[in-house]
Each structure stands twice: as C-alpha cells, then as structure tokens.
Amino acid sequence: MELIGPFSQILPLTNLPLKGALHDEQLLIIEHGGVVTDGGRILAVGDFKALQHQYPDCDVTHITVPSVLLPGFIDCHTHICFDGSRNRDYAMRIAGKSYLEIARAGGGIWDSVMKTRAADQETLMNNTAARANRHLHEGVTTIEVKSGYGLNLEGELNMLRAIQDAASHTKATLIPTCLAAHMRPKDFEGTEEAYLNWIITTLLPLIQSEQLAHRVDIFVEETAFTPGPAKHFLQHAADMGFAATVHADQFSAGGAAVAVAAGALSADHLEASDDAAIALLAAADIVAVVLPGASLGLGMHYAPARKLLNGGATVAIASDWNPGSAPMGDLLLQAAVLSAAEKLSTAEVFAALTTRAAKALQLYNIGQLASGFVADMQAYPCADYRDILYYQGKMKPIRVWKEGERVK
C-alpha cells in the first residue's frame, strides 16, 4: 500500500450527475488530502493526516510542492493511428480554399488513407505509441483510437493490429474502434450500401476472430454515409455484438438521430446539431461528444455544448486528434478554449474529461478518485484548481500516475 500526499486540493469528481448542467459548488474539494492505493486501485481518499493514522503501515510518498490532484483525463475520440502529414491541406484551408477544392487537389481523408496504407505495421505502431505517450504525460490516461485510414481489408487490419501492439508500448489504456465506415474508398467499385455490407460480412468477422476491436464507428454525412444505409450497418454491427459510436452532425444535421435510433454509446461532433437533435440527445441514454479541436482546425463554430447541457444531455469533450482537421491533439487546451466560448463551468469541463467521457467508452471504474476505482491520477502545480483552466491549457501536470504507478 502507498499513501500519496498531502495535496493542496483533491477533486475526486464523485457524486456528479451524468446528465445536464453542473455548477462549481457541486465539486467536492478535499483540502490537504491524500490517496491510498494498492495493486493499482484506490483504497481511500481523504484528509492526509487522518489517512496516516488509519493506514500506519503504508509507504508514504510526500508531495512537497503545492499541487491539485484530479483523475486522469479520458480522450474518448481520437484518430492517432496514422502516417503522414496534411500540412498542405491546412495551408490551403487558411488561405481560403474550400473542403471540396482541397479534396479535388488530392487532399482530405483520402490523402491520409494513401499515406497510412503505405506505412507498415511497425511504423503505425510506433506513431500511435508516441502520440499516446505524449497524451499520457499531459494527464490523459485512457485513449480511444480509431482505424479508418485503411479502408480496405489489409489497411484496416494493419491499423487495428498496430493499435493493439501500441498498447504494449505505452502505459496509457488504448480502446480500439473500427472506423472502416469513414468514407467509401475511391478504389471501391460499388455503392455505399455495398461497401458497408462488405464491412459487415468480410471485415468485422475477421476483427472479431482476432479480437482487435469491440466497437464500430460510422461517419454519417452528405460526403460520407447517408442515414438509411448507416442505420442498417449499425443494426448489423449490434447484432454481431459490437458497441457503436457515430460521427454525427458535423456539417449537416441527421447523424444524431441515427445515433439515438441505433442505441449508440455516443454521438460525436454535433457542430450542426439543431434544437430537435439537442432534444433527442438530451432525452436518450447517449453521450454527446464535442470536439473543439476540429472546430479550431477547420475555422468553424463549436458544437452547442451550452445548449446541450442546459437541455439535459451528457456532454463529454474529446480531442479528435487526427492529421487533417485536428492535428494539435492538446485535450486540455481545447477544453479550456471551449469553456470560454461556450461558457462551461469548471465542473462541467472536468466532468466532460473524466466521468462523462468514461460513460462514452462503457468504462465505469475510471474517471473518479474513489475507493475501488483505478488509480489513474494527475497532479497540477498549483494550490487552487481554478488555475488549471485559467491558464488555458498551458499548465500541464507535474505528476501522472497510471494504475498507481508514477509515469516517468
């Protein structure tokens, strides 16, 4: 057993409702607190001196500088398995070129597909592990990782195997998701329905046999997959035992309704969600995942996080780290910028990065500092938790623990 502390403040993020708006007064703040861990789990959280008396045989790790302790962050939507850069796309975008103009010039998702297909599995594994480790050192201890830049049998399996291998080269927890339904590949001769049927009948059985992923994702958009075929795909994937998430309402409405109807765990993006979609999401048992990094990268408005929360939805914040629209990959910075734009309370932001993000991944033993939870933790160099968002992502954790072990 190990007792770690005393921390200036501990925010365990316990007893926060999963749906709707939150106020900072709802945050439990433990002053001069400590955490007892054993075997990668939390045994107790409370006053440091009281824990010393309660657990006299504990090894003690003394925290000697002002520090605020939070649960490790959870990034529930990333595309960190890829090769190559889309810097040309970005330069064209900030020079005023449209999405369609960039695609016609050979950019867009297909550019990343060609570069990722050309990379071997070891290269993709190293890329993924390096990005995961950067995230980990910035306090992100659990990371969802999508395929979706393969879009053929060899390419998709190569990506998912690389993600699986990368998990042994990082202490962060990686959650793989099959996003073969990212777009209909340009070299596929057939309709969108035929391509989705190929995923269902050929790709997903192989993914199941190798246990490469238990989740699927689909991009529902005018330039990707339309609602009817998407619903059919999600139903068949569910019948096979896959959980689902949906890229929804990024540029046009309709995807959120598909996600709700399909019983998806989350609907992600939502920049184009209207009042009807917000009401659907608020009424359903689904997580609305907003992706401020994509808005920053594309120079477009943010998802209506404030309206979603006020409507009663469960809102998580994720980075969307990808080579095209969201290359930054700085989850805390993006969340801090979004909080100023959408007027989100500190409690709402921290919940969106922990307990509510955990729900999007069906993980119920992380995201809080409480007895029985995994000891994924991060400490910031301040004495007041409000400094963390005040510095707009510039303040990074000085210590990170994964399953109770300090990350070097």
Average pLDDT over residues 154-165: 98
DSSP string over 342-357: HT--HHHHHHHTTHHH
The residue type of 273 is S
H/E segment holding residue 8 = strand 2-10
Virtual torsion, Cα 328, 329, 335, 337, nearest 10 deg: -10
Gap between the Cα atoms of 103 and 101, Å rounded:
5
Cα separation of 108 and 89, whole Å? Answer: 7
**Angle CA 316–320–325, to nearest 5:** 135
The answer on pLDDT for 246 being more than 90 is yes
Separation of alpha carbons 74 and 317, rounded Å: 9
Where exactly does CATH 2.30.40.10 map onto the chain? 2-71+367-406
Residues of CATH 3.20.20.140 domain(s) within the chain? 73-361
**pLDDT attached to residue 131:** 98
State what percent of residues in the chain have pLDDT above 70. 100
pLDDT tens, 290-320? 999 999 999 999 999 999 999 999 999 999 9
Question: Mean pLDDT across the chain, nearest whole number?
Answer: 97
DSSP H helices, 21-86, are 48-54
Q: How confident is the model at residue 9 (pLDDT cuts 50, 70, 90)?
A: very high
Res 288: pLDDT: 99
pLDDT, position 292? 98
What is the structure's pLDDT at 104? 86
Sheet holding 173-181, edge to edge: 73-75, 140-146, 173-181, 215-219, 243-248, 266-269, 287-290, 314-317
Task: Please report the pLDDT score of residue 179 as a whole number.
Answer: 98
The token pair at 340 is: 């100023």
* CA dist., res. 146 & res. 148, Å (int): 6
The mean pLDDT value for 44-68 works out to 97
Residue 100's pLDDT band (cuts 50, 70, 90): confident
pLDDT in tens, 194-216: 999 999 999 999 999 999 999 99
Per-residue confidence band for 223, with pLDDT thresholds at 50, 70 and 90: confident
How sure is the predictor about 225, in pLDDT bands with cuts at 50, 70 and 90?
A: very high
- Please report where in the chains the tokens 């990212």 appear, as a residue: 182
pLDDT band for position 70 (cuts 50, 70, 90): very high
Distance CA 213, CA 204 (A): 9
- Answer yes or no: is pLDDT of 342 > 80: yes
Rg of the Cα atoms in the chain: 21
Provide the CATH topology of domain 73-361. Answer: TIM Barrel (3.20.20)
Question: Average pLDDT for residues 124-143, to the nearest whole number?
Answer: 98
Pick the CATH number of 2-71+367-406 from 2.30.40.10, 1.20.58.100, 2.170.120.20, 3.40.50.12780: 2.30.40.10
* Lowest pLDDT segment from 88-102, 118-132, 257-271, 274-288: 88-102
Cα dist from 152 to 51, 53, 182, whole Å: 55, 60, 11
Say yes or no to pLDDT of 2 above 90.
Answer: yes
Q: How many whole angstroms separate alpha carbon 156 and alpha carbon 117?
A: 9
Q: Is the pLDDT of residue 379 over 80?
A: yes
Q: Which stretches of 10-152 are DSSP H helices?
A: 48-54, 87-94, 99-104, 109-118, 121-137
